[in-house]
Structure 1
Amino acid sequence: MNDDDRYLWDRSGTPDAETARLERVLRRYRHDKPLATKAPRNPRSRRMLWLAAAAVLICVLTAAVIAFYFRRLDWPSDGRWQVAAIDGKPRINGRVAKARDTIGVADTIATDAKSSMTVHVARIGELHVKPDSVITLDETRAGTHRIWLERGTVDARVWAPPFTFGVRTSSGLASDVGCAFQLHYDGSSGLVRVVSGWVDFDGPKRSALIPEGAQADLTASLGPGTPYYSDASREFRLALHAFDFNHDAGLLRLVLQYAKPRDAMSLLALLDQKDIRGRGEIYDRLATLTNPPEGVTREGIIAGNSAMVDTWRRSLGLGNVKRWWLQWRDALPHR
Structure 2
Amino acid sequence: MTERDDPLWNPQLPADPELARLQRLLAAYGSAARAQAMPPQVPPRSARRRGRRIAGWAMAAGFALLLVGAHHYRLAWSSGQHWSVTQLAEGERSRATLAPGQGVTTGDGETARIAVARIGNIALSPRSRLRLVETAAGRHSVALDHGHLRARIWAPPGYFRAGAGAAEVVDLGCDFELWQEEDGAGRVRVHSGWISYRHGADDILVAEGHVLAFAGDMAGTPMRHDAPAALVAAVRALEAALRDDAGNAVLVERAARRVADIARDADAFTLLSLLTRRPALARTALYARLAAAIDQPVDAHAHRAAWAAGDRQAMNLWWDTLPRQPKQWWGGWKDLL
Which of 189, 201, 211 is the aligned partner of 1:193?
189
What RMSD in Å do the two structures reach over aligned CA positions?
2.8
- In the alignment, what sits opposite 1:52? 54
Q: Match of 1:174, as an amino acid?
A: V
Distance 1:205 1:189 in 2: 19
Report how far residue 260 of structure 1 moved. 1.4
Matches within 5 A, 1:170-249: 170-187=165-182, 188-222=184-218, 224-244=219-239, 247-248=243-244
Structure 1: tracts of 5 or more residues without a match: 1-18, 91-96
Kept in 1, the 8 Å contact 2:280–2:309? The answer is no
Q: After the TM superposition, which of the residue ranges 237-246 and 308-317 deviates more from structure 2?
A: 237-246
Distance 1:171 1:243 in 2: 25
**1:164-189 deviation per Cα after TM superposition (whole angstroms, max 9, x unaligned):** 00101114110111101000110311
Cα 1:245–1:205 shift into 2, 3 Å: farther
Which of 131, 135, 139 is the aligned partner of 1:140?
135
Distance 2:201 2:240 in 1: 12
Distance 2:177 2:151 in 1: 6
**1:87-119 deviation per Cα after TM superposition (whole angstroms, max 9, x unaligned):** 2179xxxxxx96331101011111112111001
Cα 1:21–1:64 shift into 2, 3 Å: closer
Report how far residue 23 of structure 1 moved. 4.3
Report how far residue 215 of structure 1 moved. 1.2
Q: Secondary structure at the match of 1:148?
A: strand
Q: After the TM superposition, which of the residue ranges 30-39 and 65-74 deviates more from structure 2?
A: 30-39
- In the alignment, what sits opposite 1:303? 309
Kept in 2, the 8 Å contact 1:146–1:168? The answer is yes
Distance 1:101 1:245 in 2: 46
Q: Secondary structure at the match of 2:193?
A: strand
Distance 1:206 1:25 in 2: 101
- In the alignment, what sits opposite 1:94? none
Structure 2: tracts of 5 or more residues without a match: 1-16, 245-250
- In the alignment, what sits opposite 1:257? 261
Distance 2:137 2:23 in 1: 83
**1:133-175 deviation per Cα after TM superposition (whole angstroms, max 9, x unaligned):** 1110000000000001111111000000000001011141101
Q: After the TM superposition, which of the residue ranges 252-261 and 137-146 deviates more from structure 2?
A: 252-261
Cα 1:41–1:308 shift into 2, 3 Å: same
TM-score (norm 2): 0.82
**1:268-303 deviation per Cα after TM superposition (whole angstroms, max 9, x unaligned):** 111221x55432112122234332269882222222
Cα 1:245–1:107 shift into 2, 3 Å: farther
Report how far residue 27 of structure 1 moved. 9.3
Cα 1:30–1:44 shift into 2, 3 Å: closer
- In the alignment, what sits opposite 1:107? 102
TM-score (norm 1): 0.82
* Corresponding position: 1:278 with 2:281: yes
Identity of aligned residues (%): 27
Kept in 1, the 8 Å contact 2:103–2:129? The answer is yes
Distance 1:243 1:150 in 2: 30
Q: Match of 1:166, as an amino acid?
A: R
